[in-house]
Structure 1
Amino acid sequence: MSKSADLLRRRFRPRSIAALTALALTGGALAAVNLTTPTSAAAEPGDVVVNENFSSGTLPAGWRAIDGEWKVENGRLRGTATSGTKKITFGRHLTDFRFEATVRFEAVNEATRWTSLGLDVPADGRTPWWIATMRSGTTAANGLEFAQLTTANAWNVTNTGSAPYPAGTGRDIKVAIEVHGNQARWFFDGRQLLRTTSLTRSADGGQALIVNGSTVSFDDVRVTELPPNGYLRPAGSPVTVIAHRGASSAAPENTLVSQEVARRAGADWIENDVQPSRDGVPFVLHDGTVDRTTEGTGPIRNLTAAQLKALDAGSWFAPQYAGQRLPTLAEQLADLRTRGGNLLLEIKGAHSRDEVATIVEVIRAEQMTSRVFIQSFEIDALRHSYALAPELPIGLLRGSLDADPVALAKELHLTAYNPAAGALLGKPGIVTDLHAAGVAVMAWTVNSAAQWQQLERIGTDGIITDRPAELAGWNAALMQGAAAEPAVSIASPVDGAKLDRAQQPVLAVTRTAVDTLTVTLDGAPVEPGKPLDLTGLAAGTHTVKAEGTGPAGTVSATATFTVTVTRAGLAHLVLGSGAEAPTLQVLTAHLAGGRYAELAAHAERQAGRTLDRTVAATIAADARALAAN
């Protein structure tokens, strides 16, 4: 396909393709963040804001080369920085967007040199700005980075990671970054390898391409506006890790130490519960009483904030946690704001509108509206939350599935529908239905790797677990396997097989680390998993070819098999020929008597009359082959 044709195809693709691309439940950074919500440009979800393949031969209009050498050459934008960091700016400010490009290192001073996609860079290149960086030596521990260049001209590197294979030089890498406010995901050849929640957003920064100590070429640069609901899991992303009451299998639940353990374990979100004290202060506690997790007794609503703060909330779990206190919601949010992380906050039990209003006031006072997600079993609490703070996403917790979750999600303005894992696995198709309605799905509370796998396969967006470290590690192993070298093989029919027409082998192809699979029989597309119909094939040798493409490249496999002529195969042809009854009687009589030449002659005489011409030709050919033996 030509570049111009491809450009037209991509410009006019359905906007719904982009509408389900983003899931921005990210975490793990320890830097302070600016939580001011910038105003988005006048674009709508699915709008392509930048789409450039450099076929014009010149720098696109509005692209501003700040420094370095930038030129269009051989249909690609080429940037050179013999030393230092050089950039070209373009685009406009967006809050929720996907920024993608095909990137190739042409030459590097050394393997540590890098290139970046600028995520929030002023048009004149002034600091501060945020970038997503890729070194040519991408397999290094810091081969991929999210970083900020501060106003002091110092680097603040918030997140690092590595790729499963090196970018090197001369190799095209498909890079994509999905941004939702202060959160972003890093995709390397279609696989998510890094997340951040630490972006500091400006009011007007756009996009940029940046090179450092290298010459890099770029093609197919595309920026697409995304929906503000960034909780749907994009292709190539692992499930979101949501730490149930913090890392509750490793530290006392619903405490700041449990939150810290979960954060260090790689949790994307902390899930905690909130209830009011007798004097109306929202506290983080799951049970209706303090009996189980403190040395105190009585319902939380009967105790004042001062009484609750005096309780030891750690000794019950282990001696080393003695002295841990029940945190207020304000304390928990302040910890997340300063040390990183997001909160999935369950409003526990029935709450009045005024009590929900107090929760909202605390969230706003702590400047955490962009990093808190409200959920509850209580529909009234969700209605209050939406009425008081429509900017806060809300999720409905369920022990069993509703008759029509999609309709209920629409009625309640849900961002997510969060059922028990067992209920969801009993009706997995509901995930597809909810996704089609733009609603994410988060399952609770799952501590089994077998269930993690089941939930991941049906498209679940997030998993609430007591074991966030294990789930984060499971995710990492899954992503590493997904980015392994691709492989395909043809399991059936086996290479060299001899088959007669009475057989119907199921076409079976195994694959590893393959996203796109194409299978052909003698050059014509066929579908794996379906039986091969040998009645329409000529006697002789046939070839099955499978070609698979994954993040690390394209591989193929072939197998040949032979359709042999047998009496049983001819009988299968005759009996399944669809011939009219008199013709079928004559054919079967000749077959039973072994009169193959007569059978062939009769089939040819009836071709196009009482017997399909193509079928008649195959019957006649096989009968003459048997007559000759």
Structure 2
Amino acid sequence: MPRTPTVRRRRRTALTGAATVLALAVAAPLTTVTTTAAAEPGDVAYAQDFDAVADGELPEGWNAVAGDWAVQDGRLVAQPASIGRITFGPHLDNYRLEATVRFEAVNNPSRWLAPILDIDPSGGVPWWQAAMRSTTTASNGIEIAERTAGNAWNVPSTAAAPSDAGVGDDVRIAIEVQGAHATWIFDGTEVLEGRIGRSDDGVLGFSYDGARISIDDVVVTEIEPRSPVLDDGELPQVAAHRGYSAVTPENTLAAYAAAMRTGAEWVEIDVHTTADGVPIVLHDQRVDRTTDGTGDVAALASDDFTSLEAGSWFSPAYRWQPAPTFAQMLDLMETGPSGMLLEIKGPETRAEVHRVVDMIVDAGLDDRVVVQSFDANALRYARERAPQIPIGLLGNLSADPVATAAELGLDYYNPPAADALARPSAVADLNAAGVGVFAWTANSAGQWRELTDVGVDGIITDRAGELAGWKTAQGQVVAPEPATPTVRVVAPADGAAVERGDTVVVAATATDADEVSLTLDGDPVDNGTSVAAADLALGEHSVVATVAGEGGEATATSTFAVVVTAAGLRSRLAGLDVSTGQLRQLLSALDAEDWERLTATITKHVPDGAARDTLLAEVGEIAAVGG
């Protein structure tokens, strides 16, 4: 479905402005341009070609944080180092950073250089960067990555470039950043999109690792904020429905964290208000379905709600997952780049909606949240309180959706997937009016393809990881041959040790294949199955995931071990149907690590059978490893 010419022209204006700046740079030396309050899209915010900088020096305002940086012969050169970096430039919300870069030498093909997109002026962690390797045609030759506050790497987005950067060759690169959205452009070709974290005062920079690099002709241009409506050829954004709800319990902290790890652009959650006015996260009006409690959430005090357990209904592996408050979700959201698609469950009062909106603004997250609701009044209350926060109407498309959008001042109109597919002209009309369309809830590759063809801007799905993988696969298709399926065992983790009293969740995710076949020790199991470790023998076990698609087959294996610990054994002894005195004897022997006495006591007081045999085997296992 073609997009509106207005949207296409918006993107071309930004690109043309940057190209004009580059042409001017060829005609005259570049100089630093101070950002002013009057800066508009297309204005140059900063430019530097290093020609006027003496060899061995750095331009004014450039801060070499790590590594050996200096200008040589009109280029900024960095000698090989481990995660060297330099900072420069202003803080901008929406910008295009261009530079000519070159690998002068590399220790090996996995080494990289990267424009830094948001970093504290001091150069400390965390920061986000857009990395490239010399072998940029590799599947991870292009990356959008975070160096976390814990000095570890988080790499949610990777892609291959159309050609290798190589060694000794200049490459013109550009990164467009619009709020938390980043677009990687390699020699004029868009190769990757993803989300990044943003800070209030983060600046720009460059980093590198294990290479000698040089940089020239740096140009930073203001561009327009990202429109809710995608450009031609862009795949719909991923919105994780109630978090990654296919593999974790919905609307929990675990589901939100898992959704962010998939690289989803948005995480959708639901908010109610308790009897004492505290916003909490829950889909239903009653707590019965997804917690261990009962009753209407509006009649519960917040302390009563937060004391509920919200995970064991989904799987025993999540039995300690708490029922979360909205404040906890906002805190978690700040640890990752995903935006929040926030459904306010109606009807809520004006004061209740204002309280939710105030929390978003106070957290400084108003540029990363879309408020949506089936209740038009809730949207009106949100807009009057914080007009800068986008709003979206949930529900079937009206007879004249463009008129409805205009009446409510909508940024998004989000219908069921079936409604969007039945009325593609309405999707096109909304897009032409600058209104984004997110369709819900679509969970199959066939639906994702149909909705993409209709032209929706986002897909709300329970299977966020699978949709993210499907999108990556579409972007990597360079020939008419079907893409090769991929599969990964996500639980249990390879090499994991599972205590015998715990639960093993068996799950896998795949791309370019509709079904995943799983076996546990050779026996078929369903994806997402929970298995009591007590039903498995002590020692090593294996999970094998197999997929088949038009492009072939793929297999992945995860090996884990069922182990026994003294703490786990104590719990099982405490659950035996024995007298208090007999239990004291058992626990006394365990606490004293007197395995011979414990074996004798079990033999004496536990009836002959499988349960006794299992306990004796566990005692022997603990004794063998010294407790």
Q: In which range does the TM-score fall when normalised by the shorter chain?
A: 0.5 to 0.7
Say whether the 8 Å CA contact 1:187–1:194 is kept in structure 2: no
Matches of residues 451-466 of structure 1 in structure 2 within 5 Å? 451-466=447-462
Contact 2:398 2:404 in 1 (8 A): no
**Preserved contact between residue 18 and residue 45 of structure 1 (Cα < 8 Å):** no
Match of 1:42 in 2: 37
In structure 2, list runs of 5 or more residues that go unmatched. Answer: 1-7, 17-33, 54-58, 64-68, 482-627
Cα distance in 2 between the residues matched to 1:192 and 1:122: 27
Distance in 2, matches of 1:206 and 1:434, equals: 36
| Contact 2:103 2:134 (C-alpha < 8 Å) held by counterparts | yes
1:345-356 equivalences in 2 (<5 Å): 345-356=342-353
Q: CA separation in 2, counterparts of 1:362 and 1:460?
A: 30
Distance 1:242 1:254 in 2: 13
Matched position secondary structure for 1:42: coil
Answer yes or no: is the 8 Å Cα contact 1:127–1:149 preserved in 2. no
Give me the whole-angstrom Cα distance separating, in 2, the residues matched to 1:331 and 1:226: 33
Deviation, 1:269, is: 1.8
Shift of 1:168: 1.6
Q: Does 1:444 align with 2:440?
A: yes
Give the 3 Å change call, closer, same or farther, for CA 272–215 of structure 1 in structure 2: closer
Q: Identify the match of residue 405 of structure 2 among 406, 409, 416.
A: 409
Provide the residue aligned with 1:421 in structure 2: 417
Tell me the distance in 2 between the aligned counterparts of 1:122 and 1:322: 39
- Match of 2:367, SS? helix
Q: Aligned to 2:174, which of 161, 173, 176?
A: 176
- Counterpart of 1:169, as a letter, is V
2:468 is equivalent to residue 472 of structure 1: yes
- Of residues 186, 189, 192 in structure 1, which corresponds to 2:184? 186
- Secondary structure, aligned partner of 2:335: helix
Is the 2:274–2:299 Cα contact (8 Å) retained in structure 1? yes
Q: Distance in 1 between matches of 2:145 and 2:231?
A: 23
Cα offset, 1:106, TM superposition = 5.6
Further displaced range: 342-351 or 101-110? 101-110
Provide Cα deviations, 1:305-334, integer angstroms capped at 9, x if missing partner.
Answer: 233233333333233333433211112222
Q: Judge conservation of contact 2:238–2:266 (CA < 8 Å) in 1.
A: yes
- Classify 1:294/1:208 alpha carbon distance in 2 versus 1 (closer, same or farther; 3 Å): closer
AA in 2 matched with 1:445: T
Q: Which residue, out of 308, 311, 317, partners 1:311?
A: 308
Q: Alignment partner of 1:133: what SS?
A: strand
Contact 2:159 2:191 in 1 (8 A): no
Question: Quick one: which amino acid aligns to residue 42 of structure 1?
Answer: A
Task: Answer yes or no: is the 8 Å Cα contact 1:443–1:462 preserved in 2.
Answer: yes
Match of 2:264 among 262, 267, 277: 267
Secondary structure, counterpart of 1:476 in structure 2: helix
**Paired residue type of 1:423:** D
Corresponding position of 2:326? 329
Counterpart residue number, 2:360:
363
1:333 to 1:88, Cα distance in 2 relative to 1, 3 A = closer
Aligned residue type for 1:440: G
Give 1:186 deviation, angstroms: 3.0
Q: 1:90 to 1:53 in 2, by over 3 A?
A: closer
Alpha-carbon separation, structure 1, partners of 2:329 and 2:13: 35
Task: Give yes or no for contact 2:87–2:123 (8 Å, CA) kept in 1.
Answer: no
Cα displacement string for residues 484-518 of structure 1 (whole angstroms, at most 9, x for unaligned residues): 2699xxxxxxxxxxxxxxxxxxxxxxxxxxxxxxx
- The reply on whether 1:253 has 2:246 as its aligned counterpart is no
For each residue in 1:199-221, what CA deviation from the matched residue of structure 2 results, as whole angstroms up to 9, or x when unmatched? 44526x356698973354656x6
Q: Distance in 2 between matches of 1:452 and 1:319?
A: 31
**Counterpart amino acid of 1:95?**
D
Q: Secondary structure at the match of 2:96?
A: strand
- Is the 1:163–1:188 Cα contact (8 Å) retained in structure 2? no
Distance 1:175 1:459 in 2: 29
Q: Which amino acid aligns with 1:300?
A: V
State the Cα distance separating 1:457 from its structure 2 match: 2.9
Change (3 A) 1:339 1:412: same
How far does residue 194 in structure 1 lie from its aligned partner after superposition? 5.3
Given the two structures, how large is their TM-score scaled by the length of structure 2? 0.60
> In 2, Cα distance between the equivalents of 1:459 and 1:80?
45
CA 1:322–1:105: 2 relative to 1, 3 Å: closer
* Structure 2 equivalent of residue 560 of structure 1: none
Distance, in Å, in 1 between the alignment partners of 2:141 and 2:223 is: 27
SS of match in other structure, 1:242 = strand
Seen in structure 2, the aligned counterparts of structure 1 residues 329 and 130 have a Cα distance that, compared at 3 Å, is: closer
Letter in 1 for 2:194: R
Change (3 A) 1:110 1:321: closer
SS of 1:68's equivalent? Answer: strand
> Does structure 1 retain, via aligned residues, the 8 Å contact 2:35–2:90?
no
The aligned residue for residue 68 of structure 1 is 70
Q: Which amino acid aligns with 1:413?
A: G
User: How many Å apart are 1:356 and its aligned residue?
Assistant: 0.5
In structure 2, give the amino acid aligned to 1:417: Y
> How far apart are residue 341 of structure 1 and its match?
3.5
**CA-CA distance at 1:359 after TM superposition:** 0.9
Query: Who is 1:276 aligned against?
Result: 273
Structure possessing the higher relative contact order (Cα contacts under 8 Å, 6 or more residues apart): 1
Give the deviation of 1:277 after TM superposition: 1.2
1:434 to 430, 437, 441: 430
Opposite residue 463 of structure 2, the aligned amino acid is R
> In the alignment, is residue 291 of structure 1 matched against residue 293 of structure 2?
no
Give SS of 1:195's match. strand
Which residue is equivalent to 1:197? 196
Structure 1 residue ranges without an equivalent (≥5): 1-12, 22-38, 73-77, 488-629
Q: Is the Cα contact below 8 Å between 2:292 and 2:310 reproduced in 1?
A: yes
| C-alpha contact 2:311 2:319 (8 A) present in aligned 1 | yes
SS at 1:316 equivalent = coil
CA distance in structure 2 between the aligned counterparts of 1:465 and 1:47, rounded to whole angstroms: 36
In structure 2, what is the Cα distance between the partners aligned to 1:408 and 1:338? 36
Q: How far apart are 1:469 and its partner, in Å?
A: 1.6
* Structure 1 residue 465 displacement after superposition: 0.4
Counterpart for residue 298 of structure 2: 301
The alignment's TM-score, normalised by the length of structure 1, stands at 0.60
Name the CA shift for 1:148/1:464 in 2 (closer, same or farther; >3 Å).
closer
Using a 3 Å threshold, how does the CA distance of structure 1 residues 121 and 436 change in structure 2: closer, same or farther? same
Task: Supply the AA of the counterpart residue of 1:471.
Answer: L
Distance in 2 between residues matched to 1:279 and 1:229, nearest whole Å: 38
Q: Please say if residues 115 and 135 of structure 1, whose CA atoms lie closer than 8 Å, have aligned partners that are also in contact.
A: yes
- Of 132, 136, 143, the residue aligned with 1:138 is 136
1:128-168 CA distances to partner (integer Å, 9 max, x unpaired)?
775422221335676444567899xx966443635255322
Q: Which residue does the alignment assign to 1:17?
A: 12
Change (3 A) 1:235 1:70: farther
Query: Counterpart of 1:590?
Result: none
Render the CA deviation track for 1:418-445: whole Å, top value 9, x for unaligned.
Answer: 1222222233244444344433221111
Change (3 A) 1:329 1:88: closer
For 1:152-163, what aligned pairs fall within 5 Å after superposition?
A: 157-159=153-155, 161-163=158-160
- CA gap 1:122/1:305 in 2 versus in 1, 3 angstroms: closer
CA contact (8 A) 1:244 1:270 kept: yes
Identical positions, percent: 43
Change (3 A) 1:275 1:121: closer
Measure the CA separation in 1 of the matches of 2:212 and 2:137.
Answer: 18
Which residue of the partner structure matches residue 238 of structure 1? Answer: 235
1:309 & 1:94 partners in 2: Cα distance?
39
Cα deviation for residue 41 of structure 1 reads: 4.6
Q: How does 1:70-89 map to 2 (within 5 A)?
A: 70-71=72-73, 78-84=75-81
Amino acid at match of 2:70: G
Question: Does the 8 A contact of 1:244 with 1:464 survive in 2?
Answer: yes
Code of the aligned partner of 2:342: L
> What is the alpha-carbon distance in structure 2 between the residues aligned to residue 15 and residue 194 of structure 1?
18
Report how many aligned residue pairs link the two structures: 444
Q: 1:171 to 1:427 in 2, by over 3 A?
A: farther
Give the Cα–Cα distance (whole angstroms) in 2 for the partners of residues 378 and 239 of structure 1: 25
